[in-house]
Each structure stands twice: as C-alpha cells, then as structure tokens.
Amino acid sequence: MPAILKKDNLQQLLASLSQAYKLVLPVRENGMTFFRPYQTGLTIDPDYINTATSPKEFLFPQTEKMLSFKYRESADISITNEEPHAEKLAVFGARSCDLAGIAALDPVFGGRFPDPQYSTRRDNVLLVGLGCRRASASCFCQAFNIDPLACAGADIAMIELEDCFAIEARTARGHAQLANFSQLLEEDHSGGVKTSLSSAREALNRSFGSLPDPAGVKDFLDRQFELPYWEQIASRCLGCGICTYICPTCHCFDIFDVTRGKPDGNRYRCWDSCMFADFTGMAGGHNPRPTQKERVRNRFMHKLKYHLDRYEIGGCVGCGRCVEKCPVNLDIRQIINDINKLQGVEVNGQ
Amino acid sequence: MSEKKAHQEITAKLRAECKRLLETGTVHTVIGFAPGSMPGRTVPVFITNPQEVAQLTWNPFCAANLSKYLLDHHQPGGKAAIVVKGCDSRGIVRLLQDNQVLRDEVHILGIPCRGQYDHRKIPGGLEVEETEPLEQGTADVAHPELHLEKCAYCENPTPVIYDLLLDDAVAPSTDSKGRFTEITDLEAKTAQEKSTYWDDHFSRCLRCYACRNACPACTCRECVFDQFDPDWVSKRNNLTENTAFHLIRAFHVAGRCVDCGECDRVCPVQIPLRLLNRKIIKDLDELFEAPTPGTDLNVKPALGDFTPQDPDEFH
C-alpha cells in the first residue's frame, strides 16, 4: 500500500536523500532534461517525459579508467588496478523504461564473471523510479509489456498524482531509506490514491500512440539473417553513434591504453558504437562488418534478437530516444512493423 | 500563391518529373523526402522504380541536407536525381568542387524554400493537430518563429545550382544587417565568458560524431577521429578531448563549410555547432571578402586557393 508524499515535501525528501547519497535528478538544461547532481534548491523538471540521455552512464560511465601501468627496464611491469567506484549514488526520477534498461544490463556485466566496476556501482546505487504522466510521440515501452507506472526494478517507486506523490519501497534498501523519511509521509487513510492512480493510468494510456507488435519478430529473425531489407535501412543511416549512445541498453565498449609516448600509462574503457566503421576493425585490416548494412543489421538484431537469445531479456525497452533523435528518422517501431510485413510475405510465399 | 497550394503543387510536379527521369533512364535513383514516422518528420528515400514516386513529398519539414548521400559509398547505382533546398545546394557545390561527385553524375532538382520548421521547437509551440496541417500544406498560418535558426537569415532560398527548378525563385533577404548578429554577440563576450559558454556545451558532447557524419564538407574516407594509432583525439569523453574534437573539426571545414546547419540540427544534445562555423565564415568574409562557401561553383574555397598577387608573404 503506497504512502503519500505531499508535493510541498518533495524538496525536503530530495535534501534528505542527498545527505545519505550523491543524488542525481532530472533537471532542465539548455532546453533538454538531463540527470544532474543535486544542489540545494534544485528541483526536478516538472514537465520531463524522459531525460535526453539514459541513466546507464551512472552504472557504466562513458569513460572509465581500468588500471595504470608502469614499465622500467630494470623491473617488471607494475600494474595498479583502479579501485571500483563505491560511492553511494541515488538516481531519482528514473522511468520504467530506463529501469528495464538497467535490468537488461545486469546480466551483461553481472554474469558468470561479474565486472567489478559495474557490480560495485550497482551494489551502491539507490534507484528511485517515477511513474510517467504521459507518453511522448516516440514512447512505446508498452509494446514490450513494460508498465510505465510500475517502476519495476526500483528500490523506491513513486507516482505523481494531482496534488501528491504515491510512494512505496520495493527492496530492503528502499525500505531502509524510506524509513528515514517517515515524518514526510502520510498514510492513505481515505483510499484516494487508488482512485487517483486509476485515472492517472487512463490518462497515460490515452497518450500512447499506436504500438508496434514485436511478438513474432525474434522468431522471424532467427530464420532470416540475409534480408535485402537491411540495405534499404543502411542506405539512409548516416553511421553516427546517436542511437547507441543514448540507448539505455547499448553497452559496447572499447579498451585502449593512453601512454603519451612514454612507457607508463593508463588503460581506459569507453563506450563504442556498432554503427561506427572501425567498431569491428581487426588487426591486419579485416573488417567482418565492412558496410553499414552489416552494422545496422547488427544493431537491430541485437535489440530484437541477440539480447533475448543470450539473457532472455529484451534488448529494446521502448524508451523512444533513438526514435526521437535519429537525424534521418530511422524508427525502430517502423522497422518492427516492416519486419512483420516481411514475415507475412514469407508465410504467404510458402 | 499561398504556401499550402505551393506544397501540393511542388509535390505533384516533383513526382511527375521523377517518374519521367526514372522511366527514360535519365537517372538510376531519385534521392528525396518521404513522410516520416511521426508528425513533423520526413525521411530520406531512394527510389529506383518509377511506380514508387508517390512516396515523394515536399513540405516545410524537409530539413535534412540530402547531398551527403551522393557520396559513392551511399549510392553505388549510377546517376542520381536529388532534391535540394537552397542551403543544401551549396553542399552539392561543395562536393563538386572537391571532386567527390561529378556534375554529369547528378541531376539536381531544386526547390526554392521559404523556411524549414524545427521539430524540436514544436512540442512546446504547437500541438500535433497544428503540425499536421503545416506538413500537409493545409495550414492557414505560417510560423516563422518555429523555423530552424539558419532560416532566420537565408542567403540562398533558391538553390544556387540545379537542372530543374520546381517553383518560382524566392528572393533572398535584402537586409544584410542580421547576417552575423549571433556571432557579433558571441565576439563581444570576454575570453572567460566565451570559455565558459563553450565548456558548458562541449562537456555535454556525446562524441557520437553525428555532426561529422551529416556534414557535406566531411568526406574523408578515414577520419582523423577514427584513427587510433596514433590516437590524435582519444575516445575518452572529457572536456579536453571533446574541445579538441570540435575545434579540429571546425578548422578542418574552415573555408569549406557551406553553412547548411546540419551539425546543429542533428546534435542530440543541442550544441550550437553552427556558431563555430559561422564565426569562421564571418572571418573569411572580412579577411578575403569570400562569399559563403558553396555559393558559386566557380569561386574556389578561400583557403584552398592562392594568387601570386597575395599582399601577404608566405611563411
């Protein structure tokens, strides 16, 4: 049963949260919304549908130092591993799609050989989800059965209603933190929250446009690798990295050493993009994905098939960022629709 | 003629012409715009079948500069017809001057333009019900306040090079005072203010390279930013590397940037990249009286030409 947080008390909740955690929250900046560090008086963008970039950067930063090395001719190479980043971080206002994005990243970095950097950050993060009030023209999380009000995977889930927030803890960490705020919370004696929730849900559902149906897509892609269709998509694609860098589930990285011409240096890992020509460049010059056709195929296969193959979790969470930002309007929803049409042709052709 | 009638008429004329070009084998491919997946968007299309020309559209949301698609790694098929606005046509001149594209390999369909809407300005400015009429050309009111920044002062509403013009020419603005207003404002800032301004923007950069990939002046087969040995600019995302990226790019396209504004339009974090290039265009104007690059096929890029009469010594 969710408790009630009056809107006037939000500021105090953020202030208290910032005592225990480094707090980031969605803030309006240059006409867009980004997760930014909390400062006294800073409050959340009241109108944001979602942030311009996803919160994955807090668990998997774009640039991360892994180790430093020293080399002396008289001695062995000495290597100092970078200590995992153990700062306690609270991400306030994560949407359901982005929480699903984190759930999709967890098995990648936390599998049989857990990544120490990701795992440490993950162990120290408090995820405060905030249910959506409305969908944008590019939102389609519901196509993947993600409930934009549910905040599945959050430690604390909140839903904004007319004059208050409904708030509830979902995990032990969430309960422990919410207990600190008990003086800010009220019980829902009248049961008004339940009524407000159902009207909030109705309004939210109405704001979604038509959804693509991904149900048969993976099955079709399992059988079809060499589709001429990918050439059509590739001819439009500019080969930039926007879609991969703003995607909440894309997680490819490149590892390289920075030495400044000296034998000493640092090893970093940085985000990389399968849209880039050099992404699969190999020593000796061979490139197994020589054209944009192979690259766009990989991206959409990864979103709609490979991630499901490996982890039984969807690789696309319907956040719509790539839809919104692609400079040439490559829309994954349209691609799902097109694949469904191709599937119809395949079936009728047999 | 009202704006809405013009859209429909231009679209009809465009389809008829493209059908003819494809049927007669004059061109192999038509590169144009089709309706996008959302209101206020269009999508580039490549049409080879004359029966499919009905996909083509023209409306004030045809913001993308399609000229980059002419590069052979995008279009290996043969002669292409391409739809261009005035600003885009300077991109064609850019590619022709750099011998990236040969004149007899391209058939240019020019459309005089009265301004393109910036869909990023629409959500706060107009409801979908108002966007669609704009797109379909059935709106009674034009909204210049929702145009892309570059449209506020347009040097070439009518393409500077074309094989066929699909509408009557539109005269450029006669008021040249506003041409560099945003640059003189920036120049008036102190060094510290300028530094703060650009640091704020560059620290937000994702290094997705969309600005580079959309740019008709960026035609290197292997870009310096993709080289990793030596790694002139590292993949690390930090203010230093990001600044190096943007400044190197600005200087690399200096004298060649045609001010089509694609870098500005495609940036996912809205870095005002066009200002950097506009500053250089202003300097070229003041130092060499050079027109905006791409304006005239016969005028070589200011930094790509020399004369023995140059008043300055070579060093």
Q: How confident is the model at residue A349 (pLDDT cuts 50, 70, 90)?
A: low
Residue carrying structure tokens 């949260």? A17
Across the interface, whether the CB atoms of B270 and A256 are under 8 A apart is answered: no
Selected residue with higher pLDDT from A39 and B314: A39
Residues from chain B that touch A238, judged by Cβ atoms under 8 A, are 68, 210, 213-214, 266
Nearest alpha-carbon partner for B81 in B70, B71, B93, B72: B70
pLDDT band, very low/low/confident/very high, at B141 (cuts 50, 70, 90): low
Nearest to A50 by CA among A105, A142, A132, A155: A132
Q: What would the pLDDT profile of A6-29 be if each residue is shown by its tens digit?
A: 999 999 999 999 999 999 999 999
First-residue to last-residue Cα distance in chain A: 53
Q: What is the DSSP letter of A344?
A: H
The dihedral region occupied by A120, where left means phi > 0, alpha psi between -120 and 50, and beta the remainder, is alpha
| Sign, Cα dihedral of B292, B297, B302, B308 | negative
> Is the confidence at residue B128, as pLDDT, over 80?
no
B38: chain A residues, CB-CB within 8 Å: 137-138, 323, 329, 331
How much of chain B is helix, strand and coil, in % rounded to 5? 45, 10, 45
Residue A159, pLDDT > 90, answer: yes
Cβ partners under 8 Å of residue A279, min gap 6: A252, A272, A273, A289, A295
Q: Answer yes or no: do A63 and B37 touch at CB < 8 A.
A: no
**Beta-bridge mates of residue A24:** A37, A91
Burial of B176 (0-12, 13-18, 19+ CB in 10 A): exposed
Range among A246-250, B122-126, B304-308 rated most confident: A246-250
Q: Closest Cα to residue A273, out of A294, A250, A293, A306?
A: A250
CB within 8 Å: B226 and A258: no
Q: What is the mean pLDDT of chain B?
A: 90
Asked if B237's CB is within 8 angstroms of A270's CB, the reply is yes
As beta bridge partners, residue B84 has B110
A325 with B268: CB under 8 angstroms?
yes
Higher pLDDT, B175 or B285: B285
Residue A327: which of B39, B64, B206 has the nearest Cβ?
B64
The three-point CA angle B99-B158-B152 to 5° equals 105
**Chain B residues with CB within 8 Å of chain A CB:** 36-39, 41-46, 64, 68-69, 73-75, 120, 123, 128, 201, 204, 206-210, 212-214, 226, 228, 231, 234-238, 262, 265-266, 268-270
Residues 6 or more apart from B288 whose CB is under 8 A from it?
B302
Whether the Cβ atoms of residue B155 and residue B93 lie closer than 8 Å to each other: no
pLDDT digits (tens, 9 = 90+) for B52-99: 999 999 999 999 999 999 986 555 667 999 999 999 999 999 999 999
CA distance B155 to chain A (A): 24
User: Token match 């993947």: residue?
Assistant: A144
pLDDT of residue B315: 61
| DSSP per-residue letters across B184-207 | HHHHTS-HHHHHHHHHHHHTT---
C-alpha to C-alpha distance for A225 and A218, rounded to whole angstroms: 11
Closest CA to B109 of B97, B96, B129, B92: B92
Please give the helix or strand (H or E) that residue A206 lies within, else none: helix A192-207
CA–CA dist B171, B158 (Å, integer) = 7
pLDDT per position as a tens digit, A291-326: 999 999 999 999 999 999 999 999 999 999 999 999
Cα B80 to Cα B28, B102, B112, B118, B199, distances in angstroms: 6, 11, 20, 27, 42
Shortest distance between the Cα of B66 and any Cα of chain A, in A, equals 10
Mean pLDDT of B129-149: 74
- Considering only CB atoms, which chain B residues are within 8 Å of A52? 268-269
Residues near A2 by beta carbon (within 8 Å), at least 6 away in sequence = A157, A159, A166, A167, A168, A188, A193
Q: Across the interface, do B235 and A236 touch by the CB < 8 Å criterion?
A: no
For tokens 């480094």, name the residue: A22
pLDDT in tens, A108-140: 999 899 999 999 999 999 999 999 999 999 999
Sequence letter at residue B224: V
Instruction: Characterize the bridge pairing of strands A164-169 and A156-160.
Output: antiparallel
**Percentage of chain A modeled with pLDDT above 70:** 99
- A327 and B206 within 8 Å at the Cβ level: the answer is no
Chosen for mutation from B33, B213, B222 (greatest number of chain A CBs closer than 10 Å) is B213
- Write out chain A residues lying below 8 Å of B269, CB-based: 30, 32, 52-53
**Nearest CB to B236; choose among A31, A239, A270:** A270
Question: How much of chain A is helix, strand and coil, in % rounded to 5?
Answer: 40, 20, 40
Rg of chain B, C-alpha, whole Å? 20
A271 vs B: CB within 8 A: yes
> Domain coordinates of chain B in residue numbers?
3-165, 177-304
DSSP state of A305: I
- Could you report the predicted ipTM of this complex, rounded to two decimals? 0.94
Of B69, B75, B266, Cβ closest to residue A327: B266
What pLDDT was estimated at residue B263?
97
DSSP per position, A119-155: HHHHHTEEEEEEE-S---TT--GGGGT--TTT-TT-S
Q: What contacts B57, CB < 8 A, 6 or more positions away?
A: B11, B32, B33, B34, B35, B42
Residue A241: both structure tokens together: 């990295």
**Which of these ranges, A181-195, A234-248, B43-57, B93-107, has the smallest mean pLDDT?**
A181-195
Put simply, whether A252 touches B (Cβ < 8 Å) is no
Instruction: Report DSSP state, residue B98.
Output: T
Going along B8-95, which residue ranges are E strands? 29-35, 42-47, 80-84
CA A301, CA A315: separation in Å to the nearest integer?
9
Query: Is the pLDDT reported for residue B136 higher than 70?
Result: no
Could you tell me the pLDDT band of residue B1, with boundaries at 50, 70 and 90?
A: very low
Q: CA dist B161 to B31, B114, B281, Å? A: 16, 17, 20
